[in-house]
Structure 1
Amino acid sequence: MQELVSLSLEDLANVVVSTPSKSAQRLPEVPATVRVITAQDLRDRGCLTLEEALADLPGIQFRNLVGFNGYAFFRGVPNQNNHVLLMIDGVQVNELNSGGFYLGGQYNLANVERIEVVYGPASSMYGTNAVGGVINLITRDPQDTPGLRVSTLFGGFDTRRQDFTWRSHDAEQDLGISLSGMLKSGDKADLRGSRGDGNWSGSLDTSEQDAALDAKIRCRRVTVGLNLLDKEASYATKDRSTGTALQDFDVPWHIRFLNTWARYDFRRADRWSWSSTAYYRDTTVEDDTRPVISRPTATDPGYRERWFRPNHLVGLENRYDGTLGPHLSLNLGHLRETETLAAGFARSRSAAWSVEPEAPARPDMLTNDLTSLYAQLTWHLSEPLRLTVGSRYDDSDVYGTVNTPRLGLVYNRGRCNAKLLYAEAYRAPKPWDFRDGLGNPDLAPETMRSSELAVGYRFAENLRAEISLYRNVLANCLTRENSAAGWRWVNLGKVRTTGCEGTLEYRRGKGRSYLNLTYTDADDSTGRAVPEIALHTANAGCQYAFTDRVKFDLRGQYLGRRRNPPTTAAGGDPEIDDAFVMNGTLSLADVAGCDVQIAGRNLLDAKYFHTSNTTVSRYRQPQRSVSLEIARRF
């Protein structure tokens, strides 16, 4: 345990990442701002959900509905999670119809080797939706620590989790297999009655049931993988039920994500390599989703609804990485995808509250093709200086052609690392945008232009600081337009964001500590501050290994004051107050052959809130809870 805590900052800074350029590079040489969450970080902090893993990073703010989904805002732009790409092992898991990803507990974090978080536009490599950043969950390889590990966890809000990970590797045959699974259930918070601002009844359900399965087989040059995520969470907190006929329990939102892929890798010494990846993606809102139940009244028998939305995609990506002499390297890629998406939700409704509706019919399906070409050239101008130029060309049946360039100048010598970056990105409308509300068939892609200066300096072996200064302009913003007839999405206005992210990290011997400070000044076309974005946020933490078997971790998050969207401000909460939240863990290794961890969330039991874009004026966040995890290796 102590060995990982004692790693020098120089070793940690030179970790190899693969997400920014789709090829392995040392972190100081990457033309992007990248922050890495290691498997050890996830274990030490007792992370149960993806948002818990991301919450200790600078530059990310959240809107948590304490229900079927939550939303992460990178660098000052609120959205429906469709400005950030989420991937597992380099294959996207964003929902195909809306383009947004899901936060929550459905990710099998026990099988994650590291999470690479790329900040800023990345469309030059990944195309649409890579506007605010990219999150890549990289799972463990079969050759990592062979054997079986099982874990069980229970805690507050009736939380239960069981997971296992098994790996085997035959070096002689160059054959490896890994298999991992997880089941998790529990409530998210107690928001019944007055505890939830009176928005819901005393029967409110905030439960979530998750399941995950990861499999990977590697034989010589071929790797085959599977990732299955199943999330069934209460939809009750989506809207206020008090004073309405809405039922706020037994209303599950059930979505399933399935990724399967096969990759062939060929390498010719250190000169060049070729990779081909075929993949299949399925993201389906299952037909047992029952998000709306209207209770009977004296004049209305009420009703129940079931929704269904299937989507799938097949794709093939070929990539070449090579050197063109002692000073030039080249990355080339070609991608072809065909997606089949539901034109909208298929719905069925019963004639009364007491009657279960029939399964919805299959909706009309839309088939679209995408062809993409991307290239990136890196020129080693001198020993410390590298220039990277790249671009991607997308040709879509839906939104036509888009070109997104990228430029990066990286200086890396001794204790200093500096990056001057420029990138463009876009987010193309999806069927969900075209048809939501009244619908709007004339939507155009949102576009982003970003400039950034990032500097890192190691003052001593154990002390390092980083600062990132950036300016982003998001144009053609998809904005909700309200009228007497209803509402729809339109392209309107810009969001201009000026920001600064600073990090200070200290490691020595058995301890480590860090401090993140974030300044985010986001304004709309009228010059007003963008709702839901705090001007100041901060994260700080410390960790100490008392012995090889006992480790303590304590972290705090400061959430700055922020405005509520105008649609909810009328409900009486125009602003959300600032708050301080503290979390901690105590980890004990080799206790009767087991590893034990006690984790506390919201240790001070702070009563704090997140913003809302629904009929709920604000969302109270989970109260204090404690969990106990016991794990054993065989």
Structure 2
Amino acid sequence: MPKLSLRRSASRPALLALSLSASAALPSLASAQEAAPFSLQLDEVVVSANLVPTPLTKVGSAVTAVEGEELEHRQTRLVSDVLREIPGVAVNRAGPVGQFTQVRIRGSESNQTLVLIDGIRVNDPSADSEFDFAHLLAQEVERVEVLRGPQSALYGSDAIGGVINIVTRRGSGAPTVRIRAEGGSFGTAMGQASVSAGDETYDFIASGAGYRTDGISIASEARGNSERDGYENATGFAKLNLRPSEIFELSLVGRYVDYKADGDDFFGGIGAVDADIETDGKQFFGRAEGKLSLLDGRWDHIFGLGYTRNERDTTTETTPYGFTGETRRVDYQTNFSFDTPALFDTTHISTFAIQHEENSAVSENAFSSFDRTIDTTGFVGQHQVTFADRLSLTGSLRHDDNDIFEDADTYRLTGAYSFLETGTKLRASFGTGVKNPTLYELYGYSEDYRGNPDLQPEEARGWDVGIDQTLWDGLAFIEATYFDQRIENLITGSGQTSINLPGESKIDGVELGLTLQLLDGLTARAAYTRTNGEDADGDELVRRPRDIASLNLDYRFGEEERAGVNLGIIYNGSQKDLFFDEFFASQVVELDSYVLVNVAGSYRLTDNAEIYGRVENLFDEGYEEVFTYGTPGRAAYAGLNLTF
């Protein structure tokens, strides 16, 4: 779809309680220091920020990582749900599970967010160049990284807002089988099985998962709709890493998704209404990569081949539609690290990369057909330098050669300074970005939308400054960031086509994060984001809530921490959305704020068996994430985990 200048009220005391919960816990930190040897892993390594593994203490960009163990404790079943608890991220789902799900970073459009799964770019050329998170199960996810701010210097188009990097688990140790089965509200059932193993010369994992639900009405039941819309998802993935020698590694990864989703219709002047619509979809994401390490690991050469395919066939009451998007990618990257101890005790990493990508979109329906392709080749250069293990500076430059638009040059500068004695890190970054018009925006492929081949790329520049602070010998970690971003030539819907909006769209705000080890086994995570976004006409950007906050409390207890309880609270502030009248002219409406409370618990019966359960939307909050689209009420689930 073209980009458009596209609930019952939540209790304000609930948000106040969220803040007070974290504050009230601070006095207990002194006793926690004595009670638990726990220390936050503050010197973790991230990959997305600089294309190479980099300690977080040396990263000048704003990046947040969530580990797979946390997803298990929260019993997260969709990756999009954990993103709701990360600073700077807003999620909108058009209905229940399985429906179109958009993710925005720092107020940017959803197709200005690049998504990587195991190193594979999965943005769909046939879906306005964005990634629909509706069908991404949190299956064997080991880590989710969110890199915020313009990242086109490293990743090219689609990365104006930032990058979401999802990494699945690798096999290790003796052959292990894991099995999960669960069921619950709305006729929901889920099963998952995996086998994994690994040693010094190889590792592999293969996993399959099935999910089905009778669901609720996509069109809001509160507005008089009652027909349930079901959803089915079958996902399989496999990952193999071979190390025939100390200097070479071959990696293969593939993911296949087959889904079926019931749907409802949309009418101008009414909104979403019950209808008999069905979408059958298939996704394949694959990558092969070889890594050669020379000079005792100081000089790496990485060669990669990637391929993605998205198919969607939608049948309405009158007309079938078919869409296929494909991406073919070839890339090469080399990293060379060296030291200059005589020159301020410095270490260096130089990176050069070539990335060639071919994106194509095909559409067929009763009214028209469409088949378009666009090629882009990017050249990336980057240098990182660290002085005396305290000051880290990074500069990145990219040149994109595009077969439709003028060549584009983007850059990024970051800096981080660590005060090792106080556990303080100051950081700052500045970057530029570009987002090419999508094939749909350029050429259109439906009877009610005409493309605009005269569209120009969107251009962005953004900066941020922040501080990361460790307290109480690693028992607490605080992060605070101010960001400012400007986007020119923003593409927006206008009647039955799209145009570049003259002028500059402005987005700024504050991101706060807090992690605490309150007591032995008790951990708290809190996040808050304030976003102010308006287009060049001064109108507030839609589906960007000004205020988002979350609190997660996780308690592991009992012998060998056999039992666990998790409490999650999510606050989503009021936001603007669009309503289309009977002539499909847009009007701005406001969606009320809401608070969701989720509770999960588990108990390990033996070393091989665990039972668990959770309640989502504990207080049965009524709300809408997209105007006239329904959301689930209170729901309960229970299941069993087995490991052999």
TM-score range, shorter chain: 0.7 to 0.9
1:339 corresponds in structure 2 to 358
Letter of the aligned partner of 1:620 in structure 2? G
* Count of matched residue positions in the alignment of Structure 1 and Structure 2: 589
- CA distance in structure 2 between the partners assigned to 1:96 and 1:149 by the alignment: 35
Question: Closer, same or farther in 2 for the Cα pair 1:237/1:37, shift >3 Å?
Answer: farther
Q: CA deviation at 1:480?
A: 0.6
Per-residue Cα deviation, 1:155-201 (whole angstroms, up to 9, x for no partner): 21222221122112243xx1222212212122443456x72413x4x
Q: In 1, are the aligned partners of 2:269 and 2:580 still within 8 Å (CA)?
A: no
Question: Counterpart in 2 of 1:104?
Answer: 134
Choose which of 466, 475, 482 in structure 2 pairs with 1:469.
482
Q: Match of 1:632, as an amino acid?
A: L
**8 Å CA contact 1:204, 1:248 repeated in 2:** no
Counterparts of 1:215-254 in structure 2 under 5 Å? 215-220=239-244, 221-234=248-261, 236-237=263-264, 239-240=266-267, 248-254=275-281
> Is the 2:515–2:525 contact (alpha carbons within 8 Å) kept by the matching residues of 1?
yes
Alignment partner of 1:389 is 2:422: no
1:211 maps to which residue? 235
Counterpart position of 1:76: 107
2:25 corresponds in structure 1 to none
1:158 aligns with 2:169: no
* Cα separation, 1, equivalents of 2:149 and 2:78: 23
2:441 maps to 1:441: no
Relative distance call for 1:399 and 1:324 in structure 2 (3 A) is farther
- Do residues 18 (structure 1) and 18 (structure 2) align? no
- State the 1:83 CA deviation: 0.9
Within 2, Cα distance between the matches of 1:599 and 1:265? 45
| Greater displacement, 241-250 / 261-270 | 241-250
| CA drift at 1:336 | 3.8
Aligned mates of 2:434, 2:173 — CA distance in 1: 37
The answer on 1:139 being equivalent to 2:151 is no
Q: Which has the higher contact order (CA 8 A, sep 6+)?
A: 2
Q: How far is 1:626 from its partner?
A: 1.2
Aligned equivalent of 1:628: 638
Distance in 2, matches of 1:449 and 1:68, equals 32
Match of 1:565 in 2: 578
Q: Which stretch of structure 1 is more off in the superposition, 563-572 or 61-70?
A: 563-572
Who is 1:195 aligned against?
221
* C-alpha distance in 2 between matches for 1:364 and 1:532: 30
Q: Please point out which of 304, 307, 313 is paired with 1:277.
A: 304
Cα distance change, pair 39–146 in 1 and its aligned pair in 2 (3 A): farther
- CA distance, structure 1, for counterparts of residue 298 and residue 287 of structure 2: 30
Shift of 1:242: 10
Q: Which amino acid aligns with 1:464?
A: F
1:181 to 198, 208, 213: 208
- The answer to whether the 8 Å contact 1:330/1:375 transfers is no
Matches within 5 A, 1:412-431: 412-414=418-420, 415-431=423-439
Query: Superposition pairs for residues 345-494 of structure 1, below 5 Å?
Result: 345-348=363-366, 365-414=371-420, 415-436=423-444, 437-461=449-473, 462-482=475-495, 486-494=496-504
Matched with 1:52 is 81
**Partners of 1:235 and 1:619 in 2: how far apart?**
14
Give the letter for the 1:278 counterpart.
L
Which amino acid is 1:282 matched to? T
For 1:578 and 1:126, the matched residues in 2 are separated by 34
SS in 2 for 1:43: helix
Indicate conservation of the 8 Å contact 2:216/2:227, yes or no. no
Do the aligned partners of 2:264 and 2:272 also contact (CA within 8 Å) in 1?
no
AA in 1 matched with 2:91: F
Asked if the contact 1:391/1:405 (under 8 Å) is kept, the reply is: yes
Query: Residue by residue, what CA displacement relative to the aligned partner does 1:411-442 show, whole Å, maximum 9, x if unpaired?
Result: 11221011011111111112122123111001
Deviates more, 1:424-433 or 1:220-229: 220-229
1:591, distance to aligned residue in structure 2 (A): 4.7
Give the secondary structure class of the aligned counterpart of 2:57.
Answer: helix
Q: Structure 1, residues 36-87: CA drift from partner, whole Å, max 9, x if none?
A: 110101100111112112111122112211253111121123x3x3111111
Deviation at 1:567, TM superposition (A): 4.0
Q: Can you give the 5+ residue segments of structure 1 that lack an aligned partner in the other structure?
A: 294-302, 350-359, 612-616
**Equivalent residue, structure 2, for 1:260:** 287
CA RMSD across the alignment: 2.8
TM normalised by structure 1 equals 0.86
2:133 alignment partner AA: L
Contact 2:578 / 2:588 at 8 angstroms: preserved in 1? no
Say if 1:239 and 1:84 are closer, same or farther in 2 by CA, change over 3 A. Answer: same
Per the alignment, in what secondary structure is the counterpart of residue 129 of structure 1? coil
Look up the equivalent residue of 1:217 and give its one-letter code: N
Q: 1:213, 1:228 within 8 Å by CA — same for their partners in 2?
A: yes
1:182 and 1:213 in contact (8 A); partners too: no
User: Which residue of structure 2 lines up, in the alignment, with residue 299 of structure 1?
Assistant: none
Q: What CA distance in whole angstroms lies between the structure 2 residues aligned with 1:159 and 1:494? A: 46
* Contact kept? 1:188, 1:208, Cα under 8 Å: no
Q: Which residue does the alignment assign to 1:63?
A: 92
Q: Determine helix, strand or coil for the equivalent of 2:139.
A: helix
Residue of structure 2 in register with 1:35 after alignment = 64
The one-letter amino acid paired with 1:391 is L
Is the CA contact (8 Å cut-off) linking 1:206 and 1:237 kept in structure 2?
A: no
Residue in 2 that maps onto 1:587: 602
Deviates more, 1:181-190 or 1:402-411: 181-190
- 1:357 aligned residue: none
The percentage of counterpart residues that share the same residue type is 20
Is the 1:236–1:291 contact (alpha carbons within 8 Å) kept by the matching residues of 2? no
Q: Separation in 1 of the partners of 2:615 and 2:290? A: 41
Instruction: State the distance in 2 between where 1:292 and 1:22 align.
Output: 43
From the superposition, tell whether residues 418 and 153 of structure 1 become closer, same or farther in structure 2 (CA, over 3 Å): same
Paired position in structure 1 for 2:28: none
Deviates more, 1:120-129 or 1:243-252: 243-252
TM-score computed with the length of structure 2 as normaliser: 0.85
* Residue type at the aligned position of 2:223: D
For the residues of structure 1 that align with 2:100 and 2:630, how far apart are their CA atoms? 14
Tell me how far 1:13 sits from its aligned partner: 1.3
Check if 1:499 corresponds to 2:509.
yes
Equivalents in 2 of 1:446, 1:158: separation in Å? 44
CA distance in 1, matches of 2:173, 2:424: 32
Counterpart CA distance in 1 for 2:566 and 2:320 is: 46
Query: SS state of the match for residue 332, structure 1?
Result: strand
| Aligned counterparts of 1:411 and 1:30: Cα–Cα separation in 2 | 9
- Measured in 2, the distance between the counterparts of 1:557 and 1:247 equals 29
CA–CA separation in structure 2 for the residues paired with 1:238 and 1:468: 41
Q: Give the counterpart letter for 2:130 in structure 1.
A: G
Q: Distance in 2 between matches of 1:420 and 1:567?
A: 41
Structure 1 pair 185/412, CA: closer, same or farther in 2 (3 Å)?
same
Structure 2 residues without counterparts, runs of 5 or longer: 1-34
Contact 1:479 1:492 in 2 (8 A): no
User: Contact between 1:582 and 1:601, CA under 8 Å: does it hold in 2?
Assistant: yes
Give the CA deviation at 1:275. Answer: 1.8
SS at match of 1:545: strand
Is the Cα–Cα contact under 8 Å of residues 587 and 597 in structure 1 kept in the other structure? yes
**Quick one: which of 106, 115, 135 aligns to 1:86?**
115
Report the Cα offset of residue 95 of structure 1.
Answer: 0.9
Aligned AA (2:379): L
In the other structure, the counterpart of 1:528 is 539
